[in-house]
Amino acid sequence: MNPYLTFVEGIQSGIDAARNFAVSGTTEPIESDSKVLLFSPHPDDECIIGLLPLRMTRETKMQVINVPVTYGSNVERQAGRAQELDDACRFLGWDILNHSDGYASLEMDDVVAILKQFQPEVIVMPHSGDWNSRHISTHFMVMDALKKMDSAFSCMVVETEFWGAMDDPNLMVEADAQTVADLVAATSLHTGEVARNPYHLLLPAWMQDNVRRGGELVGGQGGEVPDFSFATLYRLSKWADGEMRKPYEGGRYLAADENPATLLSP
């Protein structure tokens, strides 16, 4: 008898049961001078990579503002995706920066104006090799906008991965079960998308695999892997004096009981 059969069957039965779950609810957004701008290539990206922003909301009391770069390429779905995005962000307690021009995609000048308006302490965007063309273009658009900012502007930059894994993440952020469940629930509110592909149900497995990868990529080859069950990998940098800088050498773990505020002054 293979004792792991019960373990694997439990995972499968949990996924099967969760196919019929439905969630609702809202969380009041936090108003703060300390702002995180989350540049999302599409509605739903904010939830998938949203562990660190969510922890910043809850533990550091920073105001997270989701900036949808696009509402997807399917014009007939854009209004529906905008509503789903609103539902997901309301669930997590995040604000949304609505486009002034309907569902048009943001341009670099728009991003410059947004950065000047909000003066964020943290920006979140995909890394340059995140496979999907819109993810990649979002990265370079935000980078071009940063180069247009006054030299006095500075912020922490968090690069994310989903479609294409980073070779050199330097930050692994732990999530407890409640936080993972909240991210799964928020992702499930993108109902039109998960109806064709229930990827929200596989988010915990992806975060488990991040622990496997992060133990080596962040902690160093052959290093001791932290006792995390779920995590998301990021690359953390600081934008200052018109260039990207490493905030520390090597990699860093952020455990569930450590406040993300420690990342803001590395």
* CB contact at 8 A, 92 and 56: no
* Average predicted confidence (pLDDT) for the chain: 96
Is 200 part of any domain?
yes
Q: Does residue 251 lie within any of the structural domains?
A: yes
Instruction: Evaluate whether residue 79 is within a structural domain.
Output: yes
Residues of the chain above pLDDT 90, percent: 95
- Residues 12-63 pLDDT 10s: 999 999 999 999 999 999 999 999 999 999 999 999 999 999 999 999 999 9
Nearest to 165 by CA among 199, 131, 198, 136: 131
CATH of the domain at 207: 3.40.50.10320
10 part of a folded domain: no
Strand partners, 237: 157
Amino acid at position 14, single letter: G
Domain containing 124 equals 17-256
- DSSP class of residue 26 equals -
**Residue 6 covered by a domain:** no
Does residue 4 form part of some domain?
Answer: no
Q: Give the pLDDT mean for 203-219.
A: 97
For residue 28, the 8-state DSSP code is: P
Q: Are 124 and 53 in contact (CB under 8 A)?
A: yes
Closest by CA position to 236, among listed 157, 118, 160: 157
Stated pTM of the model: 0.97
Domain count within the chain: 1
In a domain, 7, yes or no: no
First to last CA, the chain: 51
Q: Tell me, yes or no, whether 252 lies in a domain.
A: yes
User: CA 247 to CA 156: how far, in whole Å?
Assistant: 9
What is the tens place of the pLDDT at every residue in 121-131?
A: 999 999 999 99
